[in-house]
Amino acid sequence: MKYLSGVPLVLILQASIWLPGQLCAANLQAAAPSTDVPGAAVVWQSTKAEHVYGLPDVKHNRKGTLTLSADSLTFAGKSANTSIPRSSVTAVSAGNQRVELWGVGGRLLRMAIPDGGGVAAAAVMHHRVDMLTVEFHDNRGADHAAVFLLPANEAGRALKDFVVAPATSLKAAEVGCQSAPIEPKSVLVAAPNWDSAEVPAAYRALVYEHLIARLRSTKDVSHVYRDGEVSGKSACPQYTVHISIATFKEGSSVKRAALGPIGMFVGTTQMKFDVTFTDASGKLNDSEQIKATMRGENESTDVADHVAKSVAKHYAKALKNAEKSISAKKTNDTVS
């Protein structure tokens, strides 16, 4: 058997022959428009889309067809179908990442190849997928973001066909909260501050969406408000979570793949946030710094959820400490 840099030549030939065929098939299929969206002309469509996270009525990592029409963006899967009005879309971003074809098995195979053969194998065991991030408002003015995986080059094509309507600034919640009653145990997740580091749109979206989800599952939280949300009950959140990016370093799955066993310790995605918890009374002002480091095929999602889980944990701890402080103060006042 012939070898190239320690890699069986047949392996490289099979991978290089298979890979373009897969991508070409995906692109051809994605480029063929359908008429699944009634009442509106299809502007762009991908039949090989995957919903990573963010759509309110669709579970994460669901595959389906993503269609942009004259008046909406629609994701249709086997068990869910949801649309976003184009007038509600405030921003669209395209990016790409490289995904390992054979997962953990592929990494172990490369690690076993001698004489630097893992570098050659890495070149053919990865392929590119695109990430499309769509930011939008719901009918209450709340900020949302959804992330999709698409075949290579599809996100760029979608971006060209989007005409984003000007965002409307909804400040009614902030004005109303100057005099509206406080909703007990509710929390507002303010729009994160990303000014201190260049962070791709997909990471920004995933951090915010995972944080909303994690706080919703936190004990003793009655309601989680998104930034911009207008409460129909004219109530204000009792607590607010502010997060600000301190540092960000995006990892590289290709670099990790090429370096074999050493790659398990380099090329990781790293994020560091400054987090502050406040309350409506002004008595609570607790700050923490939270770090997250992740590696793997789903690192953008994993690192975002790791950050969100840590913030939710610190939030619960901050509230518990605040309650203890209030109880101690009441006890002291009673005694005195």
What is the tens place of the pLDDT at every residue in 229-258?
A: 876 566 889 999 999 999 998 876 555 444
* CATH architecture of the domain formed by 169-329: 3-Layer(aba) Sandwich (3.40)
What pLDDT does residue 270 have?
Answer: 86
E-assigned strand segments in 231-335:
236-249, 269-279, 285-294
Q: Answer whether 156's CB lies under 8 Å from 133's CB.
A: no
pLDDT band per the 50, 70, 90 thresholds, residue 1:
low
Helix (H, G, I), strand (E, B) or coil at 182: strand
Q: What percent of the chain has pLDDT over 70?
A: 63
Q: What is the CATH number of domain 1-22+33-168?
A: 2.30.29.30
Intrachain domains 1-22+33-168 and 169-329 with the same fold: no
Beta bridge pairs of residue 288: 275
Q: What are phi and psi of 82, to 5 degrees?
A: -140, 150
pTM (2 d.p.) = 0.75
Extract the tokens encoding 200. 């791709």
All structural domains of the chain with their residue ranges: 1-22+33-168, 169-329
pLDDT in tens, 253-303: 555 444 444 444 456 788 999 999 999 988 889 999 999 887 655 667 788
pLDDT in tens, 199-214: 999 999 999 999 999 9
